[in-house]
Amino acid sequence: MKRYMAIHHKGNATTFTAVESVEHARAHLLNLLNTRKASSKDAMSIVETTEDKLLYYRKKNTIESLNGMDVSTDNFRELFARYIQSTLNQLGYVAH
Domain assignment of residue 80, yes or no: yes
Element (H, E) at 82: helix 76-90
pLDDT score of 39 more than 50 = yes
Number of domains in the chain: 1
In a domain, 9, yes or no: yes
C-alpha 27: how far from its chain's center?
13
From the list 72, 70, 67, the residue with the least C-alpha distance to 51 is 72
pLDDT digits (tens, 9 = 90+) for 49-93: 888 888 877 777 766 767 666 555 455 566 667 767 777 777 777
Q: Give domain status of residue 44, yes or no.
A: yes
pLDDT of residue 50: 85
Query: Would you say residue 63 lies in a domain?
Result: yes
DSSP label of 14: E
Residue 95 forms part of a structural domain:
no
Can you tell me the mean pLDDT for 33-53?
Answer: 88
CA distances from 56 to 79, 89, 91 (A): 10, 22, 24
CB 6 within 8 A of CB 28: yes
- Is residue 96 situated within a structural domain? no
Print the domain residue range for 41.
4-90
